[in-house]
Amino acid sequence: MQHRATSDRELGDTMNEKNDRAAWIKAGDAQCSIPAKPRALPPRLILLGAPGVGKGTQAELLCAGLGVCQLSTGDVLRAAKCLCETERTPAINDALSYMKRGDLVPDDTVLNLVRERMRCLRCRGGFLLDGFPRTVPQAKALGELLENETIRINAVLNYTLPIATIVERLSGRRTCANCKAVFHVSARPPRVIDVCDHCGGKLVQREDDRPEAVQVRMAAYEHSTKPLIEYYADHGLIRTISAEGEPERIYERTLAVLDA
Ligand code: AMP
């Protein structure tokens, strides 16, 4: 994969600074603030790993490094949460109630959100799917959607970490209420407490990072998401990466795996 090329890195830096991913977050006719540049070999990746394993941070680093968009279904749902009551459809309200409890949103609802955003999967700049697919039925449905477009996934990156470390990471995680950048109170602290380094927004603990929701999310992961590892292993796509240590070291490991 040609992800180390300087031009890609520069493209990634620019996108990280400014791209609002409007096509993914808002769907419909929304245009991204920085349209992707078509590439001969667009990186098309899926990130897997338990909640708290550091996927979001790696997604940020990979987006900056590879110049691809992070397509997170969790971000779409969180953006819907900010809509006023009159703008929310009953289906979205239903989805948000699952999310608040830490439960997985039903497959049909998530798949409809993704179908409305097919443009982003067709993007010639590539993509990084984060938090989708989350169940084997979602993975099969995604496989069909991509096959219809003759698009192939390059690799599925599976981040692994012991459970005690996961719980520690989740309890200290803070997210920017404005730009969604991810920090950690000890492992990746912001320069100023509770203030985002990138946009000055307020750092908050996600509702579903609270202890009672974390337990439900871990159970959902064990039951629904772990079988995905086997599913993608059968497709020869799984690349397992240890998520121990500093984000930058994990990122280096990820690039080494992609290079290999
Ligand atoms: P995330 O930001 O990926 O951790 O997602 C936050 C929450 O959004 C999850 O705990 C689920 O409630 C919901 N969610 C996001 N993506 C999916 C998905 N692919 N399938 C089901 N629920 C999802």
Ligand 1 pocket, mutate which of 75, 134, 170, 216 (most atoms under 8 A from CB): 134
Q: Is the pLDDT of residue 103 over 80?
A: yes
What is the pLDDT at residue 18?
59
Of 11-25, 60-74, 75-89, 160-174, minimum mean pLDDT range: 11-25
Q: What is the pTM of this model?
A: 0.82
Residues of the chain with CATH 3.40.50.300: 2-161+224-259
Residue 173 known to be catalytic: yes
CATH classification number, 2-161+224-259, choose in 3.40.50.300, 3.30.70.2200, 3.40.50.2300, 3.40.50.2000: 3.40.50.300
Per-residue pLDDT tens digits for 149-176: 999 999 999 999 988 788 788 888 899 9
Determine which one of 78, 169, 188, 217 is catalytic.
217
Question: HEC string of the chain?
Answer: CCCCCHHHHHHHHHHHHHCCCHHHHHCCCCCCCCCCCCCCCCCEEEEECCCCCCHHHHHHHHHHHHCCEEEEHHHHHHHHHCCCHHHCCHHHHHHHHHHHHCCCCCHHHHHHHHHCCHHHHHCCCCEEEECCCCCHHHHHHHHHHHHHCCCCCCEEEEEECCHHHHHHHHHHEEEECCCCCEEECCCECCCECCECCCCCCEEECCHHHCHHHHHHHHHHHHHHHCHHHHHHHHCCCEEEEECCCCHHHHHHHHHHHHHC
Question: Looking at residue 35, what is its pLDDT?
Answer: 84
